[in-house]
Structure 1
Amino acid sequence: MRPGKRKFMLKDDPGNLLAPVFGAYRQRLSDGKYAPKVQALYFATVFHFGDWLKTEGVALGQVQDRNIQQFLADHMPSCECDRHTRGDTHTNRAALHLLERVMQDTGFAMTRTTTPMDAELSRFDAKMREVWGYSESTRAARCRIIKRFLMATVGTQNIDINDISGSDISRFIIGDGTRSTSCARGLSGAIRCFLRYRQLIGDNVTPLLAGLPRPPRPKPSTLPEVLKDVEVDALLRSFSADFPQRRRAFAIARCLIDLGMRSSEVAGLTLDDIDWAYGTIRVTHRKGRRADILPLLEATGKAIADYILHERPAPACPNIFVRHRPPIGEPVGRRAVQTTMLAAYRRLGWDRSQVHILRHTLATRLLAKGTPMPVIADVMGHRSLDTTVIYTKLDRAWLSKVSLAWPGGAQ
Structure 2
Amino acid sequence: MNIVERLARAPRTMEAGDLAPWVAAFADELRSLGHTDLTVGNYADCARHFAAWLAIDNIGLDDVGDGSFGRFKTHRCRCGGYRPATPRSGKYLRRVHRFIDFLGRRGVIKLLDKVVAAPVDPLVRDYQDWLTRNRGICGRTAARHGRMVTRLLLSLGSEPHAYGPAMIKIAIIHEAERCSAPYMKTMTTALRGYLRFLASADLCRPGLEHAVPHIPQWRLSSLPRYLSPDEVERLVASCDLRTGRGVRDRAILLLLARLGLRAGDILEMRLGDIDWSSATLRVKGKGRRETRLPMPQDAGDAVLGYLDGARPLVDSDRLFLRSNAPFRPFASSPTVSHIVALALKRAGIDNPPSHGANLLRHSAATHMLRGGATLQSVGAVLRHRSLDTTTVYAKVDLNMLMQVAQPWPGDVAC
With structure 2 as the length reference, what TM-score do the two structures score?
0.71
Does structure 1 conserve the Cα–Cα contact (< 8 Å) formed by 2:375 and 2:390?
A: yes
Alpha-carbon offset, residue 263 of structure 1? 1.1
1:372–1:46 CA distance, 2 compared to 1 (3 A): farther
* Stretch deviating more after TM superposition (243-252 or 303-312): 243-252
Please give the alpha-carbon distance, in whole angstroms, between the structure 2 residues aligned to 1:261 and 1:227: 15
- Corresponding residue for residue 260 of structure 1: 260
Single out whichever of 133-142 and 255-264 deviates more from structure 2.
133-142
After superposition, the C-alpha distances for 1:64-87 in whole angstroms (9 at most, x for unaligned) are xxxxxxx65x66435799xx9x98
- Is 2:350 the counterpart of 1:350? yes
Matches within 5 A, 1:8-47: 8=16, 10=19, 27=29, 30-33=32-35, 35-37=39-41, 39-40=43-44
Matched residues in 2 for 1:237 and 1:150: separation?
49
Equivalent pair of 1:25/1:99 in contact (CA under 8 Å): no
CA distance in 2, matches of 1:114, 1:242: 43
Query: Tell me, which stretches of 5 or more residues in structure 2 are unaligned?
Result: 4-9, 54-58, 80-86, 106-112, 406-414
Whole-Å separation in 2 of the counterparts to 1:39 and 1:243: 24
Distance 1:90 1:204, change over 3 A: farther
CA distance in 1, matches of 2:280, 2:44: 45
Q: CA RMSD in A?
A: 4.5
| Bigger radius of gyration among the two | 2
Cα 1:98/1:307, change in 2 over 3 Å: farther
- Counterpart in the other structure of 2:216: 216
Match of 1:278, SS state, is coil
Q: Which amino acid counterpart does residue 365 of structure 1 have in structure 2?
A: H
On the 8 A contact 1:281/1:295 being kept in 2, the answer is yes
Residue by residue over 1:178-225, the C-alpha shift from the partner in whole angstroms, topping out at 9 and shown as x without a partner, is: 755434322211211221222233322425323221222223433212
Cα deviation, residue 291, structure 1: 1.6
Closer/same/farther in 2, CA of residues 114 and 127 from structure 1, 3 Å limit: farther
1:182 and 2:182 equivalent?
Answer: yes
- Please name the residue that 1:296 is paired with: 295
Count the aligned residue pairs: 368
Distance 2:274 2:238 in 1: 26
2:110 paired residue number: none
The normalised TM-score by structure 1 is: 0.72
* One-letter identity of the residue aligned with 1:300: A
Q: Name the CA distance, whole Å, in 2 between partners of 1:267 and 1:113.
A: 28
Structure 1's 228 and 349: CA in aligned 2 closer, same or farther, altered over 3 A? closer
Identity of aligned residues (%): 22
26 and 362 in structure 1: CA distance in 2 versus 1, 3 angstrom threshold: same
Aligned 1:241-280 pairs, distance under 5 A: 245-280=245-280
The 1:399/1:119 distance shift into structure 2, 3 A limit, reads same
Quick one: which of 324, 330, 333 aligns to 1:332? 330
Paired position in structure 1 for 2:391: 389
Tell me the distance in 2 between the aligned counterparts of 1:338 and 1:217. Answer: 25
Shift of 1:42: 8.6
Measure, in 1, the Cα distance between the counterparts of 2:147 and 2:185.
Answer: 15
Deviations 1:109-147 (A, max 9, x none): x99978652544433322222222224443343222122
Contact 1:124 1:197 in 2 (8 A): yes
Unaligned 5+ runs, structure 1: 14-21, 57-70, 104-109, 405-411
- 1:281 paired residue number: 281
Contact 2:241 2:247 in 1 (8 A): no
Report if the CA contact (8 A) 1:46-1:96 is conserved: no
Secondary structure in 2 matching 1:143: helix
- Secondary structure of 2:120's counterpart equals helix
* Cα offset, 1:266, TM superposition: 1.0
Cα gap change, 1:336 to 1:215, in 2 (>3 Å) = closer
SS in 1 for 2:314: coil
Residue 338 of structure 2 contacts residue 356 of structure 2 at CA under 8 Å; is this kept in 1?
Answer: no
Deviation at 1:303, TM superposition (A): 0.5
Show the counterpart of 2:399: 398
1:226 is matched with which residue? 226
Structure 1 residues 117 and 136, CA, compared in 2 at 3 Å: closer, same or farther?
A: closer
Structure 1 residues 25 and 292 mapped into 2: Cα distance closer, same or farther (>3 Å)?
farther
Structure 2: distance between partners of 1:311 and 1:203? 54
Change (3 A) 1:117 1:332: closer
Is 1:145 matched up with 2:144? no
